[in-house]
Amino acid sequence: MLEEVQSNYGRLKLYINGEYVNSKTETWGKAYNPAKDEVIAEVPFSTKDEVRQAIQSAQEAFEKWREVPVTQRIQYLFELKNKLEEYSETIARIVTQNHGKTIQEARGDMRRTIENVETAIAIVYTLAKGEHLDQVSQDVDESTVREPLGVFGIITPFNFPTMVPFWFIPYAIVLGDTVVVKPSEITPVPMDFITKIFEEIKLPKGVINVVHGAKDVVDELLSNKLIQGVTFVGSTRVGKYIYENAGKYGKKAIVQAGAKNFIVVMPDADLNKAIPSIVSAFFGNAGQRCLAAANLVAVGNVYDEIKRKFVEASKQLRIGYGLDENVDMGPVVTKDAKKRIMSYIDKGIEEGAKLLLDGRNVKVPDYPNGYFLGPTIFDEVTPEMTIAREEIFGPVASIIHVRDIDEAIDMINRSEYGNAASIFTTSGYYARKFRREVNAGNIGINIGIAAPMAFFPFGGRKESFFGVLHGQIDSVEFFTDKKVVISRW
């Protein structure tokens, strides 16, 4: 039995070659509980040598791991699934503690985390197979074999400390590759706990390694000769850097980046059904989801009603510490994030948007030091305003009024980002038009957060995505290479 949630996890260790290693670094960061403004762990910014050791151990593990029959490799994943189920509530509580999201949201993250392990198991006997065609020429047969490639770097953001790493880890390992994972330095504690599960299931040493840190670690992952490819999920600014450097060093890359997502509400929408979904799309996870809604586009005469109902429902959200079961919205992740979001609110006011709901002075009596912000709603926003264009990544909504669906679609397609867009309507015509004409990777129809299940790829376009293959099930393509064999006997 592993330990439960602790108030302080001390100095986190690196997990290299199946051993817990005390980092020799002189640079340490701090991981916080954002509801309390308390330090809960110290995070080593691994030295170059330590990252190299992790990569080397993953390389040596690869030589053996690729030889383990796939029927045995999946046994480890069954064990991994069972242990993640067993510790799901504990890990969810650690996610809430370190990230701030509500316990219900963290439990949802854990379901998605486990779903990726299940999917990796489910696909391996079908999608990982090669192809064969007899007699492509006289006495000649031709086939493809999918082979694992070696060591991959997994670089993840703060907002889904378990789910995002698991968009990649289970697929890489079930296919015979090995990984070096670098969690976000802001929310490293949940992955630190999960390393204990890798121990419990006796995963062979070096198959999964975890190093902590930030840019320096990423730079080593990008440039090290043994690394075959990297997966990155995070902001567009860093994502571009990753994609450029992956190209420079000849690595494969999946880069899923920032977002500015739209929800369009048509006059024929069923608002009673739509409102709870819309409120959760804007303010779930305190707006810190890459699929979070940011701009609410009211079409035609639905404007007054949607505005009134949206504000009313948002006012009801209970703000507090996510571990309290009846809380609807937790704090944002860091003091700096709160400062950044507040400056966007100032900018909105400056640029002439009308503040309908102001979350800046929200008080949470039991947690006076937490980084709380209430739901904030701007009206009379135009697409040119900063708050309508840039990713705020916090609980701030902008209402934009347009004449018709064409104007709404045109606005979405002019956005730099293309992660997600949703429409609420009862018209099949509008729904179909929206699905076909909107240039975004994840489309919701009467769904506020169009989050793809693990057995579908996770979409993204324009500045929200760089590369060819997406996360989750597309990983089969990413983590293997097709070798072609032509033979004559």
> Active-site residue numbers?
290
Nearer to ligand NAD, 235 or 382 (CB): 235
Residues 158-177 that bind ligand NAD (CB under 6 A): 158-160, 164
Among residues 120, 169, 179, 257, the one that binds ligand NAD under rule CB under 6 A: 257
Nearer to ligand NAD, 241 or 282 (CB): 241
Report helix angle 215-223 to 236-248, nearest 10: 30
143 binds ligand NAD (CB under 6 A): no
**Which residue do the tokens 């029959």 mark?**
69
Total Cβ atoms within 10 A of residue 123: 19
235 binds ligand NAD (CB under 6 A): yes
185 binds ligand NAD (CB under 6 A): yes
Among residues 234, 322, 348, 359, the one that binds ligand NAD under rule CB under 6 A: 234
C-alpha to C-alpha distance for 303 and 154, rounded to whole angstroms:
43
Nearer to ligand NAD, 243 or 434 (CB): 243
Cα angle value 39/43/46 (rounded, 5°): 170
214 binds ligand NAD (CB under 6 A): yes
C-alpha to C-alpha distance for 433 and 445, rounded to whole angstroms:
11
Q: How far is CA 204 from each of CA 26, 64, 84, 412, rounded to the nearest angstrom?
A: 30, 9, 18, 47
C-alpha to C-alpha distance for 247 and 252, rounded to whole angstroms:
8
Q: How many CA atoms lie within 13 A of 475 on its CB side?
A: 33
Nearer to ligand NAD, 65 or 465 (CB): 465
43 binds ligand NAD (CB under 6 A): no
**Which residue do the tokens 């018709």 mark?**
404
C-alpha to C-alpha distance for 159 and 101, rounded to whole angstroms:
9
Among residues 76, 321, 458, 466, the one that binds ligand NAD under rule CB under 6 A: 458
Q: How far is the CB of 452 from ligand NAD (least distance, A)?
A: 10
30 binds ligand NAD (CB under 6 A): no
Longest dimension (CA), the chain: 81
Annotate each residue in 381-410 with x if it binds ligand NAD (CB under 6 A) or - if it does not, as one string.
----------x-x-----------------
Whether 355 contacts 398, CB under 8 Å: no
The secondary structure of residue 203, as a DSSP letter, is: P
Residue 198 CB partners (closer than 8 Å, separation 6+)? 15, 18, 80, 207, 208
Of 202-210, 214-222, 310-318, 447-455, which segment contacts ligand NAD by CB under 6 A?
Answer: 214-222
Among residues 55, 110, 238, 405, the one that binds ligand NAD under rule CB under 6 A: 238
Of 15-23, 64-72, 157-165, 345-353, which segment contacts ligand NAD by CB under 6 A?
Answer: 157-165
Nearer to ligand NAD, 97 or 419 (CB): 419
Cβ-count burial 44-66 (b if 16+ within 10 Å, e if not): bbbbeebbebbbbbbbbbbeebb
472 binds ligand NAD (CB under 6 A): no
Structure token digits, residue 262: 């739209």
Of 150-158, 200-208, 315-323, 431-439, which segment contacts ligand NAD by CB under 6 A?
Answer: 150-158
Total Cβ atoms within 10 A of residue 3: 9
Nearest CA-CA partner of 450 in 312, 262, 227, 317: 262
CB-count burial class (<10 Å; 0-12, 13-18, 19+) for 485? exposed
Whether 432 contacts 443, CB under 8 Å: no
Q: How far is the CB of 442 from ligand NAD (least distance, A)?
A: 9
9 binds ligand NAD (CB under 6 A): no
Question: Within its chain, how far is the Cα of 382 from the centroid?
Answer: 29
258 binds ligand NAD (CB under 6 A): yes
218 binds ligand NAD (CB under 6 A): yes
Q: How many residues bind ligand NAD (CB under 6 A)?
A: 29
464 binds ligand NAD (CB under 6 A): yes
Of 80-88, 229-237, 268-276, 310-318, which segment contacts ligand NAD by CB under 6 A?
Answer: 229-237
Among residues 24, 202, 215, 248, the one that binds ligand NAD under rule CB under 6 A: 215
460 binds ligand NAD (CB under 6 A): yes
Residue ranges in contact with ligand NAD by CB under 6 A = 155-160, 164, 182, 184-185, 214-215, 218, 233-235, 238, 241, 256-259, 290, 391, 393, 419, 458, 460, 464
